[in-house]
A and B are shown apart, each in its own frame.
Chain A
Amino acid sequence: MITRKRSAAALCALLAALALGLPAAGPALAAAPAADDTPARSEQDAPKVDLVLDVSGSMRARDIDGGSRMAAAKQAFNEVLDATPKEVQLGIRTLGANYPGDDRKVGCKDTAQLYPVGPLDRTDAKAAVATLAPTGWTPIGPALLKAAGDLEGGNGSRRIVLISDGEDTCAPLDPCEVARDIAARGIHLTIDTLGLVPDAKTRDQLLCIAEATGGTYTSVRHTDQLTDRVGQLVDRTADPVVTPVGVKGADRCADAPELKPGLYDDREVFGEHRWYRVDVAPGEELRASVSVAADRAVNRDYGVLLRAVTEHGREIVRGSEAGDGRTDVISTGLRYPSPERDDDSGTAPDVERVCLEVSNSYSAAPSVKTTPGLPVELTVDVVDGPSNASDVAAFGLGRGWWLLGALVVTGFVAGVVWGWLSRWRVAVWRSN
């Protein structure tokens, strides 16, 4: 009988162990219905791409897969036009396609829209590309300005893909400065550059143009490489992206513009401090992050500091980051959970004004232009505050062999004392 009862107890124990094990398996089992919603475009306008092709005389050189640079570009364009996503509005602009003469002044104005930015008619676009023949100068700067004009309108993402085989021949207008000025207009335009069999000067210039707008640079030696890259850049434009809202930070807290949760962009020159303001209700948490991009040649050591400061100038929390070497951005962030207020303190304001100060410690050689400032990207989120625990451990629970040992020893001592007490009590009771 006793043995039967023991096996029953063992069964009980097994059930108990299973019951304890189940909560761990629970979350894993619940993992099955993972919903993936693919983002669809609804609020944003169509993305726009302008392909800017150098049709200068040097494109005659026959050094890409045995054919001329022009032939490679034409083949690449044909393939890219075939594969362009439907939603992308694509245009083509040429530079140096029409004026074969020697007059520099005329040659430097030679940029024309070959195919207007808009819904793509593949046959028309291909026919237009087929007419191109290497001709004139290389006015990159003016072409970029015109291309930026081509892309005006709408709030979709914009991209210029510049394909060139030589450096700009129209100084003093520096195409790199032009690119930076275009980027500073706040129209979220990226310029990607491709160099066809570039020499060192061409490469440096195209690289500078790309860096100035957060774009990429590729040097091309083969036709398929050109096709793949241009196709990739066009496809990339089709990806839906959140566009930041332009804002201008003030130089002190009192004048700072108020930010609601969202994504913002601004410009900040070397060593400048910019202030923004966020209203945080008691019990809410402010989350802010900032990225300052290096869009020009900067010295190798740099940093960024983001401070959350009260209206009265007391620093609450800061985020800082420093770095060295080649980089695109330096970024940092902070969290500030605003404490819950007591209900009876009627004098306190409902919301707390938190000022955010963004400063950077980029520096550059004296020859580098400081204006327009470096691009600043700021994200602000306000969410419910965290639940703060009274104990560092989850729910104040314990873990580990020391805990088990301590509990066993305590239990044993308590049992011994209790047993001794009850024995003594029974003995006393019996003997009386």
Chain B
Amino acid sequence: MRTHRGNGGARRAVAAALLGLGAALGPVAVPALADTSPSPAESGSSSQDAAPTEAGTSFRTAAAIRQDQQATASASTGDYLYWSFPADSGQRPTVRATVRLPPASARHADTTWQIDVYDGLRRRQACMYGAQTRTAAPGTGSLELACTLRPVRAWSEPWADDPLPGTYYVRLTAVGLGAADVGQPVQVSVEALSHDVGGAHAVGGGLSEPLVPGVSVSTDDSGTAALSKGEPDGGWSSGWWTDRWLWTAAGGILASLAGIAGYALTRGRGRPYSVPPRV
């Protein structure tokens, strides 16, 4: 009878060990899943509406784009061009812009172009990486600009200006421009991409509404002009899911395994040798 029970314990230990292994593998397997699955959804929705071919000229008129969508616009040098895109928590958005400059014959001096990214409260957001500002000599044909924001967090203190889920504005303009170079035709294209930062930046708490301007004014059914349009594919995240659940669960399982191992080590198998068999 006693041996029987010992056998059962061993079996349970093996099952638990395998469970723990599965859980430990979980965090590795999940990003792979998350990487592959959004693509069919995105390609499905991008066929519905094309990328904008116009840019706005102020925060109010910013052209709404989605992430992974390449917006183009033709403009004049000196214009302030605005786009807006939604970014959700756990993402680290990167904005890329390409400026096809006017022909060299029409240019007189160096021009400096810059992209600035603002959040839904029109607070300027810092760029972690990327050439945010570039200067073109009169002979250069095009410029590439980029700006990678800090990871978007679900919550931050009101006194901080951390990126929060909501609308982000991109402003592209020539910040250094000779008077003779104003008003020349340029072609620009802008896109916003996101890198998934995972649970490392998953913070506690959350906003009741994303930082979308006019969120408390706009009504969904009226269909009139809104201050900001667009939300991420699939809507704003509930903030419930984070891979910290997997890590913590895996930790718990590994701890129980280690506990069983430790128990087995000191308790030994079956009946302690010093105990005489029952008569």
Task: Show the binding face of A for B, using Cβ within 8 Å.
Answer: 2, 5-6, 9-10, 12-14, 16-17, 20-21, 23-34, 36-44, 195, 198, 200, 203-204, 207, 214-219, 221, 225, 228-229, 232, 235-236, 239-242, 244, 261-263, 285, 287-291, 317, 319, 321, 325-329, 331-337, 377, 379, 381-400, 403-404, 406-420, 422-423, 426-427, 430-431
Inter-chain contact B241/A412, CB cutoff 8 Å: no
- Asked if A326 meets B14 with Cβ closer than 8 Å, knowing A241-B225, A412-B262, the reply is no
What is the distance, in angstroms, from B161's C-beta to the closest C-beta of chain A?
8
Contact A415 B60 (CB under 8 A): no
Which of A23, A228, A400, A409 is in CB contact (< 8 Å) with B241? A23
- Are A242 and B225 within 8 A (Cβ)? yes
Judged by a CB distance under 8 angstroms, whether B195 is at the interface is no
Chain A contacts for B205, CB-based, 8 A: 386-389
Q: Determine whether the beta carbon of A23 is less than 8 Å from that of B76.
A: no
B173 within 8 A of A: yes
The answer to whether A414 and B262 have CB atoms under 8 Å apart is yes
B204–A9 CB distance below 8 A: no
Say yes or no: B244 contacts A391, CB within 8 Å: no
A26-B241, A393-B204, A412-B259 in contact; A17/B26 too (CB < 8 A)? Answer: yes
**Taking the complex as formed, is B72 at the interface, i.e. its CB lies under 8 A from any CB of chain A?**
no
CB atoms of A412 and B261 under 8 A apart: yes
| Contacting pair A326 B175 (CB below 8 A) | yes
User: How far, in Å, is B33 (CB) from chain A's closest CB?
Assistant: 5
Whether the Cβ atoms of B14 and A6 lie closer than 8 Å is yes
> Which chain A residues lie closer than 8 Å to B183 at the CB level?
195, 198, 203, 207, 217-219
A-B contact pairs, 6 of them (CB 8 A): A261-B214, A262-B217, A289-B121, A289-B213, A381-B214, A423-B267
Top 10 closest pairs, chain A to chain B, by CB: A389-B204, A415-B262, A333-B121, A31-B234, A17-B22, A411-B255, A13-B18, A419-B266, A389-B205, A240-B225
Complex-state Cα separation, A296 to B30, whole angstroms? 54
B215 touches A381 (CB 8 A): yes
* Chain A residue at minimum C-beta to C-beta distance from B26: A20
Q: Which residues of A contact B42 (CB under 8 A)?
A: 31
B118 surroundings in chain A (CB, below 8 A): 331
Q: Is the CB of B122 within 8 A of A289?
A: yes
- Measured in the bound complex, the distance between the Cα atoms of B74 and A397 in whole Å is 49
Binds A, one of B44-52, B91-99, B141-149: B44-52
CA–CA, A383 to B265, complex, Å? 58
**A219–B58 Cα gap in the complex (Å)?**
21
Contact of A239 with B37 in the complex, beta carbons under 8 Å: no
- Write the nearest CB–CB distance from B100 to chain A, whole angstroms: 15
Question: What A residues does B123 contact at CB under 8 A?
Answer: 289, 319, 321, 331-333
Docked-complex contact B214 and A399, CB < 8 angstroms: no
Cross-chain contact of A216 among B79, B206, B243 (Cβ < 8 A): B79
* Contact present for A387 and B208 (CB under 8 Å): yes
In the bound assembly, the distance between CA atoms of A276 and B51 in angstroms comes to 39
In chain A, what residue has the closest Cβ to B82? A328
Tell me the bound Cα distance from A48 to B173 in angstroms: 27
Complex Cα gap A382–B211 (Å): 11
B42, B106, B184, B204: most-surrounded residue (chain A CB, <10 A): B204
Interface size on B, residues (CB 8 A): 121
Chain B residue with Cβ nearest A195: B183
The residues of A that contact B225 with a CB separation of less than 8 Å are 39, 41, 44, 240-242
Q: A24-B241, A25-B37 are in contact. Are A204 and B208 (CB under 8 A)?
A: no
Partner of B242, one of A291, A379, A394: A394
Assuming A27-B241, A39-B224, is B78 touching A216 (CB within 8 A)?
Answer: yes
Question: When the two chains form their complex, are residues A407 and B252 in contact, meaning their CB atoms are under 8 A apart?
Answer: yes
- The answer on a CB contact under 8 Å between B60 and A263 is yes
Contact of A383 among B30, B76, B155, B209 (CB under 8 A): B209
CB-defined interface of B241-256 with A at 8 Å, one 1/0 digit per residue?
A: 1111111111110111
The CA of A27 and the CA of B233, in the complex, are separated in Å by 10
The answer to whether A426 and B227 touch (CB under 8 A), given A383-B215, A415-B259, is no
Which residues of B approach A to under 8 Å, CB–CB? 11, 14-15, 18-19, 21-26, 29-31, 33-34, 37-38, 40-42, 44-45, 48-49, 54, 57-61, 74-76, 78-80, 106, 118-124, 154-155, 158-159, 161, 173-177, 179-180, 182-185, 199-200, 202-209, 211, 213-217, 220, 222-227, 229, 233-235, 237, 239, 241-252, 254-268, 272, 274-276
Bound state CA distance, A430 and B278, in angstroms?
9
CB distance B204 to A396 under 8 Å?
A: yes
Q: Which of chain B's residues have a CB closer than 8 A to the CB of A431?
A: 274-275
B264 CB → nearest A CB, Å? 7
Enumerate chain A residues within 8 angstroms of B14, measured Cβ to Cβ: 6, 9
> B266 to A39, Cβ gap below 8 A?
no
Within 8 Å CB of A39, what residues of B?
A: 223-226, 229
Determine the residue in chain B with the shortest Cβ distance to A41: B224
Closest residue on chain B to residue A6 by CB atoms: B14
In whole angstroms, how far apart are the Cα atoms of A225 and B58 in the complex? 23
* Complex CA distance for A262 and B208, rounded to whole angstroms: 18
**A54 to B209 alpha-carbon distance, docked (Å):** 50
> What's the least CB distance linking A101 to chain B, in Å?
32
B76 touches A13 (CB 8 A): no
* Cβ-defined contact, B267 with A394, below 8 A: no
A17 in contact with B213 (CB, 8 Å): no
A209 and B225 CA atoms in complex are apart in Å by 27
Question: Residues of A contacting B202 with CB < 8 Å?
Answer: 393-394, 397, 399
Contacts of B276 in A (CB 8 A): 430
A30's nearest neighbour on chain B, judged by CB, is: B234
Q: A12-B18, A33-B234 are in contact. List 4 more A-B contacts (CB 8 A).
A: A24-B33, A291-B59, A382-B216, A426-B272
On whether the beta carbons of A407 and B251 are closer than 8 Å, the reply is: yes
CB of B122 within 8 A of CB of A332, answer yes
Beyond A207-B183, A261-B217, A289-B123, whether A388 also contacts B155 by CB under 8 A is yes
Q: With A291-B122, A381-B215 in contact, is A34–B234 under 8 Å at CB? A: yes
Complex: A382 Cα to B214 Cα, angstroms: 9
- Chain A residues closer than 8 Å to B154, beta-carbon distance: 394
